[in-house]
């Protein structure tokens, strides 16, 4: 069985790279730009390389390659994911356009519908419309705690 031993110089270089890596990752928390974390990960990779006995020059090469790859390849993808302009509907926004089932007759003033298993007060979107029990309706808007529903096609 083979064991990995720390080379005297490699062990010290590994510790220095490790400290640098940890400090850079911690500093990233304050900046949020995803640059320092890439440099921190590169320093941690260099620490591993140095601990395996590759020495300071090869540790520096590992640092440069991992840092360059992280900043040019990984960072742009992270920034895009974090700053996506895609809007996800939540809460009440997500209900508009959804389907509901009439539980008690819905007219311009009263009624109840079931939305995803929850009972809601409801009123008809078209004030002349009367929606009978069991009918599938579309939620047009939410007004307070009342669903405004339409029985259209």
pLDDT < 70 regions, the chain: 1-10, 86-90, 153
Q: What is the pTM of this model?
A: 0.51
Question: What is the sign, positive or negative, of the torsion defined by CA atoms of 81, 87, 93, 95?
Answer: negative
CATH topology of domain 91-150: OB fold (Dihydrolipoamide Acetyltransferase, E2P) (2.40.50)
- Per-residue confidence (pLDDT) for residue 129, from 0 to 100: 93
Tokens of 92: 């009440």
**Exposure of 27 by Cβ count < 10 A (0-12 exposed, 13-18 middle, 19+ buried)?**
middle
What torsion, rounded to 10 degrees, do the Cα atoms 82, 86, 90, 94 define?
-160
- Per-residue confidence (pLDDT) for residue 8, from 0 to 100: 52
Residue environment code for 115-132, b if the CB has 16+ CB neighbours within 10 A, otherwise e? beeeebebbbbeeebebe
Dist CA 39 CA 31 (whole Å): 13
Domain ranges within the chain, ordered by starting residue: 8-82, 91-150
- Residues 3-45: tens digit of each pLDDT: 544 445 557 888 999 999 999 988 888 887 888 999 999 999 9
């Amino acid at each position: 069985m083979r064991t990995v031993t720390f080379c005297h110089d490699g062990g010290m270089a590994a510790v220095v790279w490790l400290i640098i890596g940890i400090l850079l990752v911690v500093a990233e928390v304050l900046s949020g730009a995803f640059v320092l974390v890439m440099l921190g990960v590169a320093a941690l990779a260099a620490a591993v390389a140095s601990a395996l006995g590759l020495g300071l020059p090869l540790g520096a090469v590992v640092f440069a390659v991992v840092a360059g790859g992280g900043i040019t390849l990984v960072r742009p993808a992270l920034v895009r994911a974090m700053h996506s302009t895609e809007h996800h509907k939540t809460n009440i926004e997500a209900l508009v356009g959804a389907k509901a089932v009439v539980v008690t007759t819905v007219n311009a003033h009263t009624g109840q519908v079931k939305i995803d298993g929850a009972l809601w007060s409801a009123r008809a979107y078209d004030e002349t419309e009367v929606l009978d029990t069991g009918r599938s309706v579309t939620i047009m808007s939410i007004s307070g705690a009342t669903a405004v529903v339409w029985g259209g096609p």
